[in-house]
Homo-oligomer: A and B are copies of this chain.
């Protein structure tokens, strides 16, 4: 028998029991716990660290919400569930889970209200000019490629990055608020409990977990359900090597230590199907301040490969997976400014040819790219990659420079997007789409809304939204179980 699954008949004694056992106390786990407790369930959260927070507390805290939330309205923006769904359907990758997207958009306004009701503070001020996290405590930002091609033609853009009121990185504020709400609730939280196995009945129902607590194993029974909210696997080199090896090359991995795929492995061992283990979000913050979007991003062939005004989650994906992690942002003296994230100047020259030679690009290639770009830019258009007109201007004033956007020398921020296959209520599914009784999951342990073309806030948004649904589903699961 797998080390990750134990037979219930081998559990001599249960050390603790709850209706719902939640594994991990990040944003998803807190949301599961709060909703399950609100439904009257006795909830026990097992957190492997001493205290909750996880990757969510280390993040920018952005939640991708819309459809006309109170915050959007207060900031003077119109939005609708339909436009939000159109954007997400078009932008989140090749094989999006349409049922999840539609449900998420339909209930996004209410989900925002729920977060506020839990005590998450949002300042009703829109911050313009950054992608994702603002440097202030302002509440609303652009956090995706809504205004860039091809998305601006497919859905009416609206800013949907909802940021808890905290300067720079709002993840700590989000988690402080959610954990405070958990503390006000009857939910029990046990720190230093690392779940090492699921406990399975002879009929394959998951009925509990084995947790390691300071080296001692504790058997914990779940009367109604076990919910895995253990995060992704960006900290697990072996899993990255197996599924998304390019991510191993990224300098910056967005994840707490616990993001080692433990929950995903538990689910797989119990017979779960997975989705998109090969997918990662790769952020390349190369065009901040936004004036740098006027630059031209080229690959090792000296060719462009993406419209430079796309969100940095899309730039990174193209730079790593299409351009092989070899890219440079070409600027001229007119648009040069200091990048917000430190970035090496890889080459400077009086002509594009000098820059190209210094970068080792094929002779003539960068020159041809710039000549074509400038010819169109003189008329304010970019018919090749359809960058928005406000960022299109000829690059003609010497000196020219190249910002280093290679994966080896610059920040590519990575986290995994794939995980356990779940239905819209967090039920973990087997390869036939049947549920594994008693087993639920939410957050980055599942394959969620985005499997590519990342917009900031989709992980926390997805984890909290579908976490809440999983909490209610796990609680409602009582009828099928003995107590």
Known: A95-B245, A246-B94. A301 touches B271 (CB 8 A): no
| CA–CA, A369 and B5, complex, Å | 57
Q: Which chain B residue lies CB-closest to A429?
A: B2
> A384: CB under 8 A from chain B?
yes
| CA–CA, A368 and B302, complex, Å | 13
| Complex contact B368–A372 (CB within 8 A) | yes
Q: What chain B residues lie within 8 Å of A278 (beta carbons)?
A: 276-279
| Complex contact B302–A432 (CB within 8 A) | no
A168 to chain B, nearest CB (A): 34
| CA–CA, A38 and B365, complex, Å | 60
Q: What chain B residues lie within 8 Å of A383 (beta carbons)?
A: 362-363, 365
> A375: CB under 8 A from chain B?
yes
Interface stretch (choices A26-34, A72-80, A179-187, A262-270): A262-270
| Complex contact A2–B430 (CB within 8 A) | yes
Contact with B along A312-337 (1 / 0, CB 8 A): 00000000001000000000000000
A274 to chain B, nearest CB (A): 7
| Complex contact A204–B432 (CB within 8 A) | no
| Complex contact A431–B246 (CB within 8 A) | no
Q: What chain B residues lie within 8 Å of A274 (beta carbons)?
A: 274, 277
Q: What chain B residues lie within 8 Å of A362 (beta carbons)?
A: 383-384
Q: Which residues 357-393 of A have a CB within 8 angstroms of B?
A: 362-365, 368-369, 371-372, 375-376, 383-385
| CA–CA, A365 and B243, complex, Å | 36
> A7: CB under 8 A from chain B?
yes
| Complex contact A264–B202 (CB within 8 A) | no
Q: What chain B residues lie within 8 Å of A430 (beta carbons)?
A: 2, 4, 268-269
A376 to chain B, nearest CB (A): 7
For A271, A322, A383, which residue has the most chain B Cβ atoms within 10 angstroms?
A: A271
Q: What chain B residues lie within 8 Å of A246 (beta carbons)?
A: 94
| Complex contact B431–A4 (CB within 8 A) | yes
Known: A2-B434, A204-B2, A302-B384. A271 touches B269 (CB 8 A): yes
Known: A203-B1, A363-B383, A371-B368. A94 touches B245 (CB 8 A): yes
How many chain A residues have a CB neighbour from B under 8 Å? Answer: 55
| CA–CA, A277 and B202, complex, Å | 30
| Complex contact B436–A2 (CB within 8 A) | yes
Contact with B along A238-278 (1 / 0, CB 8 A): 00011101100000000000000100110011111111111
| Complex contact B364–A431 (CB within 8 A) | no
| CA–CA, A129 and B362, complex, Å | 30
| CA–CA, A364 and B363, complex, Å | 19
Copies of this protein, total: 2
| Complex contact A268–B265 (CB within 8 A) | no
Q: What chain B residues lie within 8 Å of A302 (beta carbons)?
A: 384
| Complex contact A372–B376 (CB within 8 A) | no
| CA–CA, A271 and B1, complex, Å | 10
Q: Which residues 194-227 of A have a CB within 8 angstroms of B?
A: 202-204
| Complex contact B431–A241 (CB within 8 A) | no
> A303: CB under 8 A from chain B?
yes
> A338: CB under 8 A from chain B?
no
Q: Which residues 1-34 of A have a CB within 8 angstroms of B?
A: 1-5, 7
Q: Which chain B residue lies CB-closest to A279?
A: B278
Known: A1-B204, A432-B3, A434-B2. A275 touches B243 (CB 8 A): yes
Q: Which chain B residue lies CB-closest to A203?
A: B1
Q: What chain B residues lie within 8 Å of A273 (beta carbons)?
A: 268
A296 to chain B, nearest CB (A): 13
| CA–CA, A304 and B369, complex, Å | 12
| CA–CA, A275 and B264, complex, Å | 14
Q: Which chain B residue lies CB-closest to A266?
A: B431
A394 to chain B, nearest CB (A): 14
Q: Which chain B residue lies CB-closest to A97?
A: B242
For A268, A279, A365, A375, which residue has the most chain B Cβ atoms within 10 angstroms?
A: A268
Q: What chain B residues lie within 8 Å of A7 (beta carbons)?
A: 202
Q: Which residues 451-482 of A have a CB within 8 angstroms of B?
A: none
Can you identify 17 A-B contacts, CB atoms within 8 angstroms? Answer: A1-B204, A2-B434, A3-B434, A7-B202, A95-B241, A95-B242, A202-B202, A268-B271, A270-B271, A271-B271, A274-B277, A277-B278, A303-B303, A362-B383, A364-B375, A368-B368, A368-B369
Residues of chain A touching chain B, judged by Cβ–Cβ distance below 8 Å, are: 1-5, 7, 94-95, 202-204, 241-243, 245-246, 261, 264-265, 268-279, 301-304, 322, 362-365, 368-369, 371-372, 375-376, 383-385, 421, 430-432, 434, 436
